[in-house]
Amino acid sequence: MNNEELMDLLNKVRNGEVSTEEAGEQIKRLNFDDLGFAKIDHHRAVRVGVPEVIYCENKALEHIEGIVKNMMERTDENILATRASREAFEHIRKIAPQAEYHELARIVTVRRKEIHQVPGTILIVTAGSADIAVAEEAAITAEMLGNPVERCYDVGVAGLNRLLARLDVIRRANVVIAVAGMEGALASVIGGLIDKPLIAVPTSVGYGSSFHGLSALLTMLNSCASGVGVVNIDNGFGAAYLANSINRVNLNQQEK
């Protein structure tokens, strides 16, 4: 029930078209959604081109298919399915023929309307080539959310010179996402070189005492570079989501 509907109801009460009892019931049934603090979900939907998101891990293929079907019928939004296997993609494609599969990122995208672009760029950097899967999850997500993305992969400590050689690119970005496993030192190195918001994504790449990403996670949380925001191990999606919200800061409403 939005504002107009509420005024309409009250007018009907005034006119005697609706009894006070009935109006009282309707108002008490007021879904919190209508009262402002719960408009969140719809608020998201109203923005131009924001996709619906499905986290596919552990979901049955039929279940995923059902959700996509529902989305295809109910809205005209783009769709982003993360942690999707190729089989999940096949199931989605049956419902949404325009679906594309991003193999490395394990993401399925269904583009149904144009994505409104923000001006600033999100730069995604990885330490090694094994971190690229997580980086691509971030990259595709950021693009689907309307952000220009630059990739700068495999520039870990051993390739420090390559990283330094691209400092201009790094400095042009609005937000940087650093993706690294093993010891995760990349975040600290980049944090020391730039003055932009930096999001660090530890990955589970490594073995032995990397403890499935714990080593990189702790490194990033303890970074001597001030002001690094860390997300969960392998959480490329979350990093892109945060980068997107950062990338929209200080844009005026119409652009947003």
Closest approach of Cβ 71 to a copy of itself, in Å? 15
Site string for a copy of itself, 67-106 (x = CB under 8 A): ----------------------------------------
> For residues 141 and 29, what is the distance between their CA atoms, to the nearest angstrom?
37
Q: Does 129 bind a copy of itself (CB under 8 A)?
A: yes
Confirm or reject binding of residue 113 to a copy of itself (CB under 8 A). Answer: no
211 in contact with a copy of itself (CB under 8 A): yes
CA distance 173 to 147: 11
For a copy of itself, the binding residue among 52, 194, 236, 254 (CB under 8 A) is: 194
Q: Which of 23, 72, 115, 169 binds a copy of itself (CB under 8 A)?
A: 23
Q: What is the 3-state secondary structure (H, E, C) of the chain?
A: CCHHHHHHHHHHHHCCCCCHHHHHHHHHCCCHHHHCCCCHHHHHHHCCCCCEEEECCCCCHHHHHHHHHHHHHHCCCCEEEECCCHHHHHHHHHHCCCCEEECCCCEEEECCCCCCCCCCCEEEEECCHHHHHHHHHHHHHHHHCCCCEEEECCCCHHHHHHHHHCHHHHHHCCEEEEEECCCCCHHHHHHHHCCCCEEEEECCCCCHHHHHHHHHHHHHHCCCCCCEEECCCCCHHHHHHHHHHHHCCCCCCCCC
* Among 7, 86, 87, 98, interactor with a copy of itself by CB under 8 A: 7
Site size for a copy of itself (CB under 8 A) = 111
Instruction: Name the one range near a copy of itself by CB under 8 A: 68-76, 89-97, 146-154, 177-185.
Output: 177-185
Closer residue to a copy of itself (CB): 66 or 112: 66
Out of 232, 236, 253, 254, the residue judged to bind a copy of itself by CB under 8 A? 232
146 binds a copy of itself per the rule CB under 8 A: no
Nearer to a copy of itself, 76 or 250 (CB): 250
Distance CA 141, CA 239 (A): 9
Between residues 98 and 222, which has the closer beta carbon with respect to a copy of itself? 222
Strands 149-152 and 122-126: parallel
User: Is 40 an interacting residue with respect to a copy of itself (CB under 8 A)?
Assistant: yes
Distance separating alpha carbons of residues 130 and 10, to the nearest angstrom = 61
Among the listed residues 130, 148, 151, 169, the single contact to a copy of itself using CB under 8 A: 130
In the complex with a copy of itself, the residue whose CB is nearer, 63 or 98, is 63
Binding piece for a copy of itself, criterion CB under 8 A, among 70-78, 85-93, 105-113, 154-162: 154-162
- Interface stretch with a copy of itself, choices 72-80, 89-97, 109-117, 211-219 (CB under 8 A): 211-219
